[in-house]
């Protein structure tokens, strides 16, 4: 071959490889463009959106459950899990579940020291349970997976309230079906009052300046039925935010301090709340009760299961209305009216928080959280109702180290919840936790790569759960059992 032959040969090969490269490039572009179009079509984003009514509905306030026993030292309550139809959107009726009503349940208001009896009747066609999330009671009163209530049956737990003032909640905890039962409406709040909450001059006029906010994401089908969408990845975020079962709510408040008790009662979604116009608020309580002192905050993160109490001073706001936001989305309009009624205050000190006493050499337990899409494990194990994972001594303080190393198909952190205790967070990734996490908690968010250390102590015997509070994770293995004795 001559020199020029070789050149020609090389040139031919170069042109050929350029052609191949070009073809591949064009193919990639075509596939990407086509994929994009398919995705847009599938997402329905090209559809014209109907006019959305702006803050059409007054915020529903759940009723307070009536104590049927006149004796002030004892309380007797009745709860009935039942079917209902609820109007959320337009004039449509959505088939739902509720306690003593069509959707959600009443607020159960308890006082520290009082003896409580609750009659739980199951009017549904399937088994359910009621778990008192955050309440410190014996194992057989806890309402976990072992206390199933068959259709038509009644369950009668009893206990004495043995903990500080707090905002807790109740919801089903039946093996494998907690997520859908909660999605359809089974959840409600528990308030505990004590001598500290009685003494503090905080807003406490229920539904007026002490307002519960049960926040949930939901999706609806065109016929008004819930569209509960789960996939291999977990539960899809709903496109509608309900507060106390109200879509597109507004609430009227008076000028002055207003307290909101906020519960993230969604199945799978984290929420970060803000007020419009960068308005600050004071966080006064976390899951287990008051913080030592109010913490001034500009936003509030709550993972599923977590609660917080905040106070907003509407007398200090120079506007007729303020929006509660999730990111940039307005989820509630707050209308401010009337005279400055600041009869309450946010005291500089709320309560005294003592460290849970620890022995010299407290037992340390590790909990590794790992999820893969909708399912997950703790310490590599899927939940088994017939297996006790941890044996714990009554009244002995332990250190629980909870780790989330991430994993395949995992993008989020996990809210780790422990039954029958209000624990203290010793550290988050080796550092002291932020002020709002220095009170008592029963659910702690553990982000990817995070390690939290908890100081826990169990004062009641029985079999209890610890689990991820993303309900689809809980239903699909991310739960374990411990026995306190």
Residues that bind ligand C2O (CB under 6 A): 131, 133, 171, 173, 305, 417, 419, 465, 467, 469
Residue 468's binding partner out of ligand C2O, Cu ion, none, with CB under 5 to 8 Å set by partner kind: Cu ion
The residue with tokens 């908890």 is 454
Q: Is 324 in the site for Cu ion (CB under 5 A)?
A: no
Nearer to ligand C2O, 336 or 479 (CB): 479
Residue 305's binding partner out of ligand C2O, Cu ion, none, with CB under 5 to 8 Å set by partner kind: ligand C2O
- By CB under 5 A, name the one of 463, 473, 479, 481 that touches Cu ion: 473
Q: Is 468 in the site for Cu ion (CB under 5 A)?
A: yes
Q: Is 467 in the site for Cu ion (CB under 5 A)?
A: no
Nearer to Cu ion, 16 or 409 (CB): 409
Shortest distance, position 359 Cβ to ligand C2O, whole Å: 27
Shortest distance, position 104 Cβ to ligand C2O, whole Å: 15
Nearer to Cu ion, 124 or 446 (CB): 446
Q: Are 480 and 378 in contact (CB under 8 A)?
A: yes
What's the rounded Cα separation, in Å, for the pair 154 and 157? 10
The burial of 477, by beta-carbon neighbours within 10 Å (0-12 exposed, 13-18 middle, 19 or more buried), is given as: buried
Pairing assessment for the beta strands 74-87 and 115-122 based on DSSP bridges: parallel
For residue 255, the Cα-to-chain-centroid distance in whole angstroms is: 29
Residue 230's binding partner out of ligand C2O, Cu ion, none, with CB under 5 to 8 Å set by partner kind: none
Distances from the Cα of 238 to the Cα of 45, 215, 412, angstroms? 15, 12, 17
Nearer to ligand C2O, 263 or 322 (CB): 263
Strand partners, 193: 111
What's the rounded Cα separation, in Å, for the pair 71 and 25? 80
- By CB under 5 A, name the one of 60, 112, 121, 133 that touches Cu ion: 133
Q: How many residues does the chain have?
A: 485
In this chain, which residue has its C-beta nearest to ligand C2O? 133
Residue 173's binding partner out of Cu ion, ligand C2O, none, with CB under 5 to 8 Å set by partner kind: ligand C2O
Question: Whose CA is closest to 132, among 154, 151, 150, 116?
Answer: 116
Nearer to ligand C2O, 302 or 465 (CB): 465
Q: Are 95 and 135 in contact (CB under 8 A)?
A: no
Nearer to ligand C2O, 365 or 419 (CB): 419
Q: How many CB atoms lie within 10 A of CB 18?
A: 10
The residue with tokens 């309560």 is 351
Kindly list the residues in this chain that would bind Cu ion in the complex (CB under 5 A).
133, 414, 419, 468, 470, 473
């Amino acid at each position: 071959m001559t020199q020029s032959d070789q050149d020609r040969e090389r040139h031919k090969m170069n042109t050929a490889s350029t052609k191949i490269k070009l073809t591949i490039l064009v193919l990639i572009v075509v596939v990407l463009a086509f994929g994009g179009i398919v995705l847009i079509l599938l997402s329905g984003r090209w559809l014209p959106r109907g006019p959305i009514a702006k803050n059409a509905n007054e915020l529903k306030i759940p009723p307070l459950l009536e104590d049927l026993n006149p004796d002030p030292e004892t309380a007797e309550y009745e709860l009935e899990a039942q079917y209902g139809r609820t109007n959320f959107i337009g004039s449509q009726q959505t088939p739902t579940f509720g306690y003593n009503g069509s959707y959600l349940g009443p607020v159960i208001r308890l006082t520290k020291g009082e003896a409580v009896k609750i009659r739980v009747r199951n009017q549904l066609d399937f088994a359910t349970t009621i778990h008192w999330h955050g309440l410190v009671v014996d194992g057989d009163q806890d309402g976990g997976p072992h206390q199933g209530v068959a259709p038509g049956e009644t369950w009668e737990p009893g206990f004495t309230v043995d903990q500080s003032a707090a905002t807790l909640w109740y919801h089903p905890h039946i093996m494998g079906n907690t997520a859908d039962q909660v999605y359809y409406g089974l959840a409600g709040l528990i308030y505990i009052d004590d001598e500290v909450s009685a003494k503090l001059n905080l807003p406490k006029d229920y539904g007026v300046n002490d307002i519960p906010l049960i926040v949930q994401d939901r999706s609806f089908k065109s016929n008004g039925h819930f569209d509960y969408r789960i996939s291999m990845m977990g539960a899809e975020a709903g496109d509608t935010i309900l507060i106390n079962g109200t879509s597109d709510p507004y609430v009227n408040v008076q000028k002055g301090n207003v307290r909101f008790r906020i519960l993230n009662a969604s199945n799978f979604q984290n929420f970060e709340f803000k007020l419009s116009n960068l308005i600050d608020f004071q966080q006064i309580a976390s899951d287990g009760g008051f913080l030592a002192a109010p913490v001034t905050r500009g936003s509030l993160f709550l993972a599923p299961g977590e609660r917080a109490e905040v106070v907003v001073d509407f007398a200090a706001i120079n506007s007729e209305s303020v929006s509660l936001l999730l990111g940039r989305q307005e989820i509630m309009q707050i209308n401010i009216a009337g005279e400055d009624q600041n009869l309450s205050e946010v005291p500089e000190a709320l309560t005294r928080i003592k460290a849970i006493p620890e022995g010299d050499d407290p037992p340390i337990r590790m909990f590794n959280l790992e999820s893969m899409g909708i399912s997950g494990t703790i310490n590599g194990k899927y939940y088994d109702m017939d297996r006790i994972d941890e044996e714990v001594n009554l009244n002995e303080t332990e250190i629980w180290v909870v780790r989330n190393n991430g994993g395949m198909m995992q993008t989020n952190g996990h809210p780790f919840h422990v039954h029958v205790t209000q624990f203290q967070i010793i550290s988050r990734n080796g550092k002291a936790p932020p002020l709002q996490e220095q009170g008592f908690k029963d659910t702690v968010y553990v982000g990817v790569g995070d390690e939290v250390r908890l100081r826990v102590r169990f004062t009641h015997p029985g079999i209890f759960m610890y689990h991820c509070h993303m309900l689809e994770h809980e239903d699909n293995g991310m739960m374990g059992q411990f026995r306190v004795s």
